[in-house]
């Protein structure tokens, strides 16, 4: 990614990607609510994102010679969401673990977070547009 965007913008971009993935997984869980033996999936990325941001957005590697390849890469680039079987939901008689009410709550919360992140990115882009336009 270009140096034009700061760590906050990159973190928001990653968050949007992961929230989209969570939306897809949660929708699949709801679609399979009546499927026997279906195990509900869960997506987690918040802890990894917070840890990457605490590292300052980049890994602590540096070249010791001007001829070395650049070693530091943004820590946010290497993040991946954890997708796993949700252990928090009890098993039904048909061995299905989907709790539709909980999944709908996750979907609604994820939608609110997605909208908030989108608004933050739009505000940052609006500020950049203002600066580029010379304050007009």
Counting every residue written for the chain, the total comes to: 136
Q: Is residue 2 part of a domain?
A: no
State the pLDDT at residue 50: 83
Q: Is residue 83 part of a domain?
A: yes
Name the residue range of residue 12's domain.
7-132
Neighbouring C-beta atoms of residue 95, cutoff 10 Å: 11
pLDDT at 122 over 90: yes
Tell me the pLDDT tens digit for each residue of 23-65: 999 999 999 999 999 999 999 988 888 888 787 644 445 556 6
The proportion of the chain whose per-residue pLDDT surpasses 90, expressed as a percent, equals 43
Q: Is residue 1 part of a domain?
A: no
CA distances from 58 to 4, 50, 52, 74, 116 (A): 16, 12, 7, 4, 25
Q: Is residue 89 part of a domain?
A: yes
pLDDT at 82 over 70: yes
What is the model's pTM? 0.75
The C-alpha atoms of residue 54 and residue 118 are separated, in whole angstroms, by: 22
pLDDT bracket for residue 128 (50, 70, 90): confident
Q: Is residue 26 part of a domain?
A: yes
pLDDT bracket for residue 92 (50, 70, 90): confident
67 or 19: which leads in pLDDT = 19
Number of independent structural domains in the chain: 1
**Adjacent-strand bridge partners of 83:** 43
Q: Is residue 99 part of a domain?
A: yes
pLDDT at 66 over 70: no
State the pLDDT at residue 59: 47
**DSSP string for residues in 40-51:** PEEEE-HHHHHH
pLDDT at 1 over 50: no
Question: Residue 88 — φ and ψ, nearest 5°?
Answer: -85, -5
């Amino acid at each position: 990614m270009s140096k034009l965007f700061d760590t906050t913008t990159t973190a928001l971009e990653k968050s949007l990607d992961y929230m989209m993935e969570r939306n897809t997984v949660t929708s699949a869980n709801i679609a399979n609510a009546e499927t026997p033996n279906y195990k509900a999936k869960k997506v987690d990325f918040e802890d990894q994102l917070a840890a990457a941001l605490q590292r300052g957005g980049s890994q602590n590697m540096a070249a010791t010679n001007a001829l070395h390849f650049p070693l530091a890469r943004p820590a946010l680039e290497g993040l991946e969401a954890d997708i796993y079987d949700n252990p928090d939901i009890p098993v039904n008689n048909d061995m299905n673990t989907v709790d539709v009410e909980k999944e709908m709550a996750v979907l609604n919360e994820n939608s609110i977070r997605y909208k908030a992140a989108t608004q933050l990115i739009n505000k940052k882009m609006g500020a950049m547009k203002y600066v580029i336009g010379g304050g007009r």
